[in-house]
């Protein structure tokens, strides 16, 4: 990867993290507003709960699509950590082919369903469901692209990194 492309990828990654942090901040603010209105003003409001649920879905899928690195994903570490580089490459290829196949097969139906949902909207915020569910299409495409790239690397000789339990952490 060229230095310019690497710099652009780093900038895009940081902006994806910024979007994730902004969604988390808005979700937290809506949660606090909900608590204040419900327990201190004795006036339950529904839009805060709806916003919190929507943002939670978007947080999880946006984060999985653009922020979480492949090494931070959940896997069977007992098997993966004991495997050598060739076995890790084979596991990576099998996983990538399965995931690309499954997401690829489901993608047309997912797109149709999301497009169909334009007829419904959320109860309080009146946001069309196709806009709310569109993050899943983005997520599925990002996962397909990621695993095509990982499979390409594994096929051409780059084994995924071995798990090092001494470096396990929160991703920071």
Q: SS3 breakdown of the chain: % helix, strand, coil, rounded to 5?
A: 75, 0, 20
- Walk along the chain (172 residues) and give the pLDDT tens digit of each residue: 789 999 999 999 999 999 999 999 999 999 999 999 999 998 888 899 999 999 999 999 999 999 998 777 776 677 777 888 888 899 889 999 999 999 999 999 999 999 999 999 999 999 999 999 999 999 999 999 999 999 999 999 776 766 666 665 555 5
pTM: 0.86
């Amino acid at each position: 990867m060229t230095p310019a492309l690497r710099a652009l990828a780093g900038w895009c990654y940081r902006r994806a993290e910024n979007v994730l942090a902004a969604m988390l901040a808005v979700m937290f603010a809506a949660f606090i507003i909900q608590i204040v209105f419900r327990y201190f003003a004795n006036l339950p409001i529904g839009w805060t709960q709806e916003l919190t649920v929507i943002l939670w879905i978007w947080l999880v899928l946006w984060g999985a699509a653009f922020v979480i690195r492949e090494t931070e994903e959940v896997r069977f570490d007992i098997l993966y950590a004991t495997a050598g580089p060739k076995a890790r490459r084979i596991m990576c290829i099998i996983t990538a082919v399965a995931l690309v196949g499954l997401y690829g097969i489901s993608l047309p139906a997912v797109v149709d369903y999301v497009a169909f949902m334009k007829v419904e909207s959320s109860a309080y915020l009146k946001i069309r469901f196709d806009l709310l569910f569109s993050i899943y299409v983005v997520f599925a495409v990002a996962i397909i692209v990621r695993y095509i790239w990982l499979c390409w690397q594994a096929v051409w000789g780059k084994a995924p990194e071995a798990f090092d339990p001494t470096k396990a952490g929160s991703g920071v």
